[in-house]
Amino acid sequence: MTPQAVKILGGYLVQGRGEAGEQIVKDALAIAQAGAFSVVLEQIPEPPARRIADELDVPTIGMAAPSTS
């Protein structure tokens, strides 16, 4: 989530629910394999965020995560 992408993504909305979450996991893994030193997760629900944090060898930073309740 970046200010530059707000209009493309439809606003400051939670990203990564359902099948979109699986794509975000795949993208995060690809970014890490390409040499990223860390990944910032913003507006992503807990299940895909946890998978990313568990599967990556680089640090993850979570911001503005939606409530799971």
62 forms beta bridges with 41
Q: List phi, psi (to 5°) of 36.
A: -60, 145
Question: Of 19, 42, 46, 55, which one is the catalytic site residue?
Answer: 42
Place of tokens 């939670």: 14
User: Is the dihedral angle over the CA atoms 19, 30, 60, 11 positive or is it negative?
Assistant: negative
- Examine the residue annotation and report whether 42 is marked as an active-site residue of this protein: yes
Catalytic residue ranges: 42
